[in-house]
Chains A and B, each alone.
Chain A
Amino acid sequence: MTTIEPVPVVSPERPRRSFADGLRNGLPKLVLAPSFAIILVFVYGFILWTVYLSFTTSKMMPIYRWGGFDAYFRLWSQPNWYVAMQNLAIFGVLYIGICIAIGLFIAILMDQRIRAEGVLRPIFLYPMALSFVVTGTAWKWFLNPGLGLENTMHNLGWASFKFDWLVNPNMAIYTVVIAGVWQASGFVMAMFLAGLRGIDGEMIKAAQIDGASTVAIYRRIIIPLLRPVFLSAFIVLAHMAIKSYDLVIALTGGGPGNATELPSTFMYSYTFNRNQMAVGSASAVMMLMGITAIIVPYLYSELREKNQ
């Protein structure tokens, strides 16, 4: 890997470099500078601003009066925040777990020299192209207790069928899981499929000659080899779970009551609707810390491996 480095300081007896040469050396940095400045200010600067706000007594508008950890105390004494955290745990675990399970299952099926792969793959993947708002709208209708799935089953003759999760406070969070899994599992499938296609075929042939059954080959060789894909899928899904806002808003609006509150909806409503900007900021900082805890070690290891 050759790098193009800035020319070292010119010693007196050498011909002086012209102004044009100087410009040429600085040009790349000049081109990158605006983007970097934008990131620096609007990402890192704004994060610091938000952190600062979380230590103030801001309500409807930012007030730059120091409030210490007051906002954090208030955040962690909100029953709503606990509901949000609990929901995130349920949603996160199920969403990530089911997406990976279904994604891997479909990927393995698709990897069996399926004739119609070109038709099937887009079907599993298209939900990923949709907006969460569209997904939420579609599933809200599909799971509508009066007119949707329940009604359909009744029409089919299954009179006792009951599916009211969407309006049942105890179950509503699971409808978010269902819609989320529907949207993202096809993408996880595509990741696994790419991973499977990347496995050296000769290794599988060797295992077959060694007498391993298909199941054994998958369990002992292929799935362990897919470890990096598991990791990538986990990172992507965890990141989406923590950030997900639109899906809940479109599907349940955070309700019934606060039954599907997530940290993301909590942050938004406390900041913009309930005039508790400091608490909203504090919750945003908590979200950022959660994502940082997952992403930074991952990025660090990825970037380090790349350099070796």
Chain B
Amino acid sequence: MSGATETVSAGSARTARYFIYAALIVLALVYLLPLYVMLTTSLKSLDEIRGGDMLALPKDPSVAAWVKAWGEACIGVSCVGIKGYFWNSLKMVVPAVAISTLLGALNGYVLTKWRFPGHKIVFGMMLFACFIPFQAVLIPMARLLGAAGLSNSTAGLVFVHVVYGLGFTTLFFRNYYEAFPDELVKAAMIDGAGFFRIFWRIMLPTSGPIIVVTVIYQFTNIWNDFLFGVSFSSGEASPMTVALNNLVSSSTGVKEYNVDMAAAVFAALPTLFVYVVAGRYFVRGLMAGAVKG
């Protein structure tokens, strides 16, 4: 719906449009400001930061802080930068996203095309699992990971993220497959394809959009997670977000704001990259997660 302004006379309509554009531009600048400050600060020297203006462009842009954040900054007692944590996050995200997406696709397929009595309750319980505050499972999970020898390991975090991402991935695929015509499945059954053949040959090849949405959603959520990371890992096994927080909130030594900001940029880069490359799907994913059922 658009164009509700058409009945207004030409002159006032033009004024209104100027106002609209002005308001939008100001708002856009406000939204961009923190990112701008983060980037410019990371390119400044510490002296310039202390003496200068936060909003000013760097006088002598340098990537020294980035280099330091990546390879030398001290997190806790070790001073090897954040690169190790960056890889930790990546090693955690990739398998967790892959496994939870595949399971979600299979679950959605069963819950829409191979219904059985009680399928609604099963789905309802999986759906509610999306919403629980993770604080309510934190202690038992910590105990379990400890008992299984998985605490402080990437495998443990992968497991946790698969478990608590399943509800969402199932929801996405269920809603997508719900709109997928039953007749196609019936036709394939008559043609002689079985459960898995229908899935691999008919369902998955037509699931491109929802796979992209799910992968982006899971990638963003898991990469950005902090609570599980801080609860179930420590030291060098931590994911990126935990390391960033440790770096920024450490009170030892001189506060290097430019290094903090560079580290924050590194932490933001993967998700921002995904957002820029596939923003359309990103929004759709958020919406799919938001407008449930």
Contact = CB atoms under 8 A, between A and B. Distances in A.
Assess A/B contact in the complex (Cβ within 8 A): yes
Interface of A: 1-6, 24, 27-29, 31-32, 34-36, 38-40, 42-47, 49-50, 53, 62, 106, 109-114, 116, 120, 122-142, 147-149, 151-152, 155-156, 182, 186-187, 190-191, 194, 196-201, 204, 208, 213-214, 217-218, 222, 232-233, 235-236, 239, 242-243, 245-246, 249-250, 253, 263-264, 267-268, 271-272, 277, 280-281, 283-285, 287-288, 291, 295-296, 298-299, 302-303, 305-306
B282 A306 contact: no
B113 interface: yes
Given A133-B267, A284-B133, A141 B292 contact: no
Nearest to A115: B21
Interface string B238-277: 0001001100110000000100110010011001101110
Contacts, number: 311
B125 A44 contact: yes
B41 A141 contact: yes
B139 to A, nearest CB: 6
B136 A142 contact: no
A200 B1 CA distance: 7
Majority DSSP secondary structure for residues of A touching B: helix
B10 interface: no
Contacts of A142: 33-34, 37, 54
A36 B106 CA distance: 12
A271 B139 CA distance: 8
The 8 closest A-B pairs by CB, nearest first: A302-B293, A28-B114, A131-B224, A246-B226, A129-B275, A46-B137, A46-B140, A199-B1
B134 interface: yes
Interface in B194-225: 194-196, 220, 223-225
Nearest to B260: A137
B241 A246 contact: yes
A39 B1 contact: no
Interface stretch (B24-32, B60-68, B73-81, B149-157): B24-32
A214 B7 contact: yes
Majority DSSP secondary structure for residues of B touching A: helix
Contacts of A44: 125, 129
Given A141-B38, A201-B1, 17 more contacts: A5-B117, A31-B107, A32-B111, A36-B126, A39-B126, A39-B167, A62-B139, A122-B279, A125-B279, A137-B261, A147-B49, A148-B54, A152-B55, A194-B287, A199-B1, A245-B227, A264-B133
Given A3-B115, A106-B27, A182-B31, A299 B127 contact: yes
Contacts of A1: 182
B53 A155 contact: yes
B60 to A, nearest CB: 18
Nearest to A213: B7
A106 B27 CA distance: 8
B41 to A, nearest CB: 7
Given A134-B267, A277-B139, A295 B128 contact: yes
B271 A129 contact: yes
B248 A250 contact: yes
Contacts of B103: 34-35
Contacts of B275: 122, 125-126, 129
B71 interface: no
A109 B24 contact: yes
B6 A124 contact: no
Nearest to A280: B139
A196 B17 contact: no
A138 B264 contact: yes
Contacts of A217: 4
B227 to A, nearest CB: 5
